Amino acid sequence: MSNPRDVAVLVGSLRKGAFSRKMANALIALAPPQLKLEIVEIGNLPLYNQDLDEHPPKEWTTFRERIRRADAVLFVTPEYNRSVPAPLKNAIDVGSRPYGSSAWDGKPGGVISVSPGATGGFGANHHLRQSLVFLNVPALQQPEAYIGGADKLFDESGALANDSTRGFLGKYLTAYANWVERNAAR
């Protein structure tokens, strides 16, 4: 494909060695040619405060513009207290404001939750999906992606070292590429 779809990848954890960041990098490496995945950093976003909407911080406007340019969004998140981490929720709030001007509106989405635990971040995955419904982000339903045992999936350099997971992610990305193509604005 000569013009791959631009996918903004949001990583929920700010931790340097985060499993979700390692997973995002693995997804970038595995992406089919019709998708161009790029991590959009969220750690520099000031906390959302409606009082700042009239004169928003530069970081907010830059972030909102980047999300608007994207054809689709892919969320890769850990689970904190059965939900998404605060930086990811803040990014969602920043992108959704000011009211009526959401940068997320209509962007096809995907959610991958990553955890060292056995349930693979199930709670975060579903909590995030609740927000996406309100934001009018149609999220890929199948296959679902709850990646458990993340502490055993990567080698010392941070690369994905599990063939079974690599195969699953390849299938996920193929389904996601088809989802994006069916739902992205023309």
Percent with pLDDT over 70 in the chain: 99
Residues 27-80 pLDDT 10s: 999 999 999 999 999 999 999 999 999 999 999 999 999 999 999 999 999 999
pLDDT of residue 49: 97
8, 144 Cβ separation under 8 angstroms: no
Question: 66-70 long-range contacts, Cβ below 8 Å, gap at least 24?
Answer: 66/8, 66/40, 67/8, 67/40, 67/95, 67/103, 67/104, 67/107, 68/103, 69/6, 70/6, 70/7, 70/8, 70/40, 70/107
Helix axes 86-96, 122-134, angle to 10 degrees: 10
Q: How many domains does the chain have?
A: 1
78, 21 Cβ separation under 8 angstroms: no
Q: What is the mean pLDDT of the chain?
A: 96
Whether residue 93 is predicted with pLDDT greater than 90 in this model: the reply is yes
Whether residue 1 is predicted with pLDDT greater than 60 in this model: the reply is no
pLDDT of residue 74: 98
pLDDT of residue 2: 67
121, 115 Cβ separation under 8 angstroms: yes
Stretch 14-28: mean pLDDT: 96
46, 55 Cβ separation under 8 angstroms: no
Stretch 78-103: mean pLDDT: 96
Token couple for 142: 């199948």
**CATH number of domain containing 127:** 3.40.50.360
pLDDT of residue 170: 97
pLDDT of residue 90: 98
Higher-scoring residue by pLDDT: 3, 137: 137
Residue 101 domain boundaries: 5-183
Residues 137-167 pLDDT 10s: 999 999 999 999 999 999 999 999 999 999 9
Token couple for 15: 């931790």
